[in-house]
Amino acid sequence: MIENGSAEAVTIIEWLGIFKSDLGLDDEESINASALLWQAIGQNERVSLIALYMAALHIEGEPEKFPIELIHSLEVVKPLMRGVNFKRVAWLTALREKDYACCLKICFEASLQPFRFAQQIGMPSPVKYRYELLSGILPLISNTPEKKEVLWLLDCVASMTSAEAVHFYDELLLDYAFLLPYVEELFSAHCLPDSDDTLWFSLKAESRSVLKQYFKMSSYYSLEHLVDEICSRRTASLLKLTERDIKQLKSRSMFWSNYSEKFNQTRILIPYKTHEALDISGLSTDIDAVKLPDIPQEDSEVFIFDIGERIIVEVLRGDASELRIFESTSRNIKRLLQDKNLTLRSIREMACGCIHDHVALWQYFCEQMLRVQHGIAPNCGIKRFAGIGSKGATYTELAGLAAPTESLFSERLEQLETWDKAFWTRESKIKGDSMPVASSENRTVLEKAKIAKFLNKRDEYIDLLKLAASQSNSEAMYLYGIHLLNSRTSHAKDKTLAENLISGSAENGFLPAVELAKKFGLIVKAEQKLNAKQLGELQKRFNAEGQRIKKAPSERVKSISKNILSKEIQSKTRSDGNRPYFNLSIAELEEVATVYSESVGISKVLLAELSHRKSTTRVESLIEVLKKQI
- Give tens-digit pLDDT for 484-511: 988 888 888 888 899 889 998 888 888 8
Residues 435, 390, single domain; the answer is no
Residues 520, 608, single domain; the answer is no
Does residue 180 fall inside a structural domain? yes
pLDDT tops 50 at residue 109: yes
**Other residues' Cβ atoms within 10 Å of the Cβ of residue 448:** 19
Residue 63: asked if its preceding bond is cis (omega within 30°), the reply is: yes
Q: What is the pLDDT of residues 230-274, one digit of tens each?
A: 999 999 999 999 999 999 999 999 999 999 988 888 899 999 999
Q: Which of 372, 404, 436 is the last residue of a domain?
A: 404
Q: Which of 514, 548, 564 is the last residue of a domain?
A: 564
pLDDT-based confidence at residue 385 (cuts at 50, 70, 90): very high
> The sheet that has 323-327: what strands, in order across it?
289-291, 263-270, 302-307, 310-315, 323-327, 354-356
**pLDDT value of position 578:** 67
Closest-CA residue to 484 (of 509, 457, 508, 503)? 503
Residues 395, 268, single domain; the answer is yes
Does residue 410 fall inside a structural domain? no
Residues 245, 292, single domain; the answer is yes
pLDDT tops 80 at residue 73: no
**pLDDT value of position 554:** 39
Residues 226, 361, single domain; the answer is yes
Residues 514, 481, single domain; the answer is yes
Q: What is the mean pLDDT of residues 312-327?
A: 95
Closest-CA residue to 463 (of 446, 444, 486)? 446
Residues 349, 249, single domain; the answer is yes
Greater confidence (194 vs 245) lies with: 245
Give the burial string for 76-96 (b: 16+ CB within 10 Å, else e).
Answer: ebeeebeeebbbbbbbbbbbb
Residues 313, 398, single domain; the answer is yes
Residues 377, 390, single domain; the answer is yes
Residues 325, 256, single domain; the answer is yes
For residue 459, give its domain range: 424-564
Q: Using CA atoms in the order 92, 94, 99, 104, what is the torsion angle rounded to 10 degrees?
A: -90
Residues 574, 530, single domain; the answer is no
Q: Using an 8 Å Cβ cutoff, are 308 and 376 in contact?
A: yes
Does residue 267 fall inside a structural domain? yes
Does residue 208 fall inside a structural domain? no
Q: What is the mean pLDDT of residues 331-354?
A: 92
**Other residues' Cβ atoms within 10 Å of the Cβ of residue 394:** 15
Domains held by the chain: number: 4
Q: Which of 152, 169, 189 is the last residue of a domain?
A: 189
Residues 22, 171, single domain; the answer is yes
Does residue 213 fall inside a structural domain? no
Q: What is the mean pLDDT of residues 517-527?
A: 63
pLDDT-based confidence at residue 535 (cuts at 50, 70, 90): low
Q: What is the pLDDT of residues 389-406, one digit of tens each?
A: 878 899 998 889 998 888
**pLDDT value of position 528:** 44
Beta partners for residue 355, in sequence order = 324
Q: What is the pLDDT of residues 466-485, one digit of tens each?
A: 998 988 888 999 999 999 98
Does residue 224 fall inside a structural domain? yes
Tell me the C-alpha distance between 139 and 156, whole Å: 13
Does residue 409 fall inside a structural domain? no
Q: What is the pLDDT of residues 273-307, one digit of tens each?
A: 999 998 887 766 555 588 999 998 898 999 999 99
Does residue 203 fall inside a structural domain? no
For residue 404, what is the DSSP state?
P
**pLDDT value of position 548:** 32
Angle subtended at Cα 533 by Cα 529 and Cα 536, rounded to the nearest 5 degrees: 100
pLDDT tops 70 at residue 434: no
Length of the chain in residues, anyone? 630
